[in-house]
């Protein structure tokens, strides 16, 4: 089973991804992974994030290349072994974030990004969505990179809502506005129930 964690910056999902790694809720041998990945593909993505003038379409393809390598090198082998895979960000991050960066460029940007993935991606079985208002997310994340402004995260958040609307059965909504400890406990509970 492939479980992904999604949400706008500052939603606290990475903290929960770490908490899951240390918890007894997940079976031994669970593969914990993330996008952008720890690889040269991921390094290329991080270079692009750091470049305020990066071309958004080129950036989409860097993220997507990283996703392809992630599936081939990490996700598929782990699923083939029968392992649980828990990924901090995955394909929905591209649909929501690049769906927003490409807004002026295509008529239906999110559809365009999904179309590029569909022939080969491995969709998640379950997605924990860390729900927080974009303003709070931007504040919490400290607006450290070009994606972290409240106005931009607002669009990203709207895109996530559209994804949830289209596939309600895949998403588990986590109220990420609660205290860190409460969010952690909610996530551990949710994963325990899932398994």
Q: Looking at the chain, list the stretches that DSSP marks H as alpha helix, in order from N- to C-terminal side.
A: 13-21, 40-50, 56-70, 76-80, 91-93, 99-101, 109-117, 134-141, 150-166, 180-194
Is the Cβ–Cβ distance between 182 and 86 less than 8 Å?
A: no
Closest to 17 (Cα-Cα) out of 161, 127, 178, 165: 127
Measured CA to CA in angstroms, residue 179 lies from 9, 27, 135 at distances of: 16, 26, 16
Q: Does 131 bind ligand TYD (CB under 6 A)?
A: no
Q: Does 17 bind ligand TYD (CB under 6 A)?
A: no
As measured in angstroms, the least distance from the Cβ of 97 to ligand TYD is 3
Kindly tell me which residue out of 44, 49, 79, 172 binds ligand TYD, with binding defined by CB under 6 A.
49
Q: Does 97 bind ligand TYD (CB under 6 A)?
A: yes
Q: Does 94 bind ligand TYD (CB under 6 A)?
A: yes
Output the residue with the shortest Cβ distance to ligand TYD. Answer: 97
Q: Does 35 bind ligand TYD (CB under 6 A)?
A: yes
As measured in angstroms, the least distance from the Cβ of 142 to ligand TYD is 9
Q: Does 70 bind ligand TYD (CB under 6 A)?
A: no
- Dihedrals phi, psi of 187, to nearest 5 degrees: -70, -45
The neighbouring-strand residues paired with 174 are 130
Interacting residues toward ligand TYD by CB under 6 A: 9, 14, 35-36, 49, 63, 89, 93-94, 97-98, 145, 147
């Amino acid at each position: 089973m492939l479980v992904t964690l999604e949400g706008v910056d500052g939603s606290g999902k990475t903290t929960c991804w770490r908490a899951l790694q240390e918890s007894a809720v997940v079976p031994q041998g669970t593969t914990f992974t993330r996008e952008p990945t720890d690889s040269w593909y991921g390094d290329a993505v991080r270079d692009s994030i750091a470049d305020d003038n990066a071309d958004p379409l080129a950036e989409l393809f860097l993220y997507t290349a990283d996703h392809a390598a992630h599936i081939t090198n990490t996700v598929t082998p782990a699923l083939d072994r029968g392992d649980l895979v828990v990924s901090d960000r995955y394909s929905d991050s591209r649909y929501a974030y690049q769906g927003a960066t490409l807004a002026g460029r295509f008529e239906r940007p999110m559809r365009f990004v999904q179309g590029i993935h569909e022939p080969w991606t491995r969709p998640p079985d379950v997605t924990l969505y860390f729900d927080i208002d974009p303003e709070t997310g931007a504040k919490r994340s400290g607006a450290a990179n070009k994606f972290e402004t409240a106005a931009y995260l607002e669009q990203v958040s709207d895109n996530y809502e559209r994804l949830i609307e289209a596939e309600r059965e895949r998403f588990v909504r986590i109220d990420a506005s609660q205290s860190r400890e409460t969010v952690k406990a909610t996530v551990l509970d949710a994963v325990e129930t899932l398994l």
